[in-house]
Amino acid sequence: MTGVGPVILAQADYPEAMGTITLAHYLFVSGAMFALGLIGFLTRRNMIIMFLCTELMFQAAGLALIAFSRYHLDHTGQTFVIFVLTVAAAEAAMALALVILLFRKRESLSTEDWTEMSG
């Protein structure tokens, strides 16, 4: 290896597509993570934790996208994860601003203080 140039860092070969069963492994991890996020969103009563659980679900979706991107050797899946990250960042900013606003009004993070909002 002479020098760490662009030659060494670049991938020598286009990565081999992975097998169907390996894809199943990643999809199971992704599905389990999504289920955990869903359970957290339904059971926890702290607003911040609920939003954290939506981030967990975003994460699961991202993992599935990357796994499929690798399986099909198509980089659109990875590009899509960039936009998932963008939406997650925007959502976090808005959600946390809302949480701060609600916390100032009631001095509590409980969702049950805001049941009248369900209409």
Partner 1 sequence: MDALISPLVLYSACALGAVGVVLALPRRGASWRVPGTLLAAIAGGVVVLALGLVANESGQLPNIYFYVFAALALGAALRVITHHRPVYSALYFILTIIASAGLYVLLAAEFMAFALVIIYAGAILITYLFVIMLATQSPVEGDDEFQADYDAKAREPALATLAGFVLLAVLTTMVFGGLGSLRAPSGAQHARIERLALATMPQKIERVLRDTPRRDDSGEPMRDADGRAVMMVGPDERVVRLPAIEGRSMVNIAEGSVLVEMPDGGTRMTNPRDWPEELGVSNVEMVGRNLLADHPGTIEIAGVILLMAMLGATVLSRRQVEIDEEAKAHEARRLHGLDEEGVAS
Is the dihedral angle over the CA atoms 107, 110, 118, 49 positive or is it negative?
A: positive
Residue closer to partner 1 (CB basis): 18 or 119: 18
In whole angstroms, the minimum distance from the beta carbon of 119 to partner 1 comes to 19
Q: Which of residues 18-57 bind partner 1 (CB under 8 A)?
A: 18-29, 31-40, 42-46, 48-49, 51-53, 55-56
- Is 4 a binding residue for partner 1 by CB under 8 A? The answer is no
Residue closer to partner 1 (CB basis): 96 or 119: 96
Distance CA 113, CA 119 (A): 13
Binds partner 1 (CB under 8 A): choice among 10, 115, 117, 119: 10
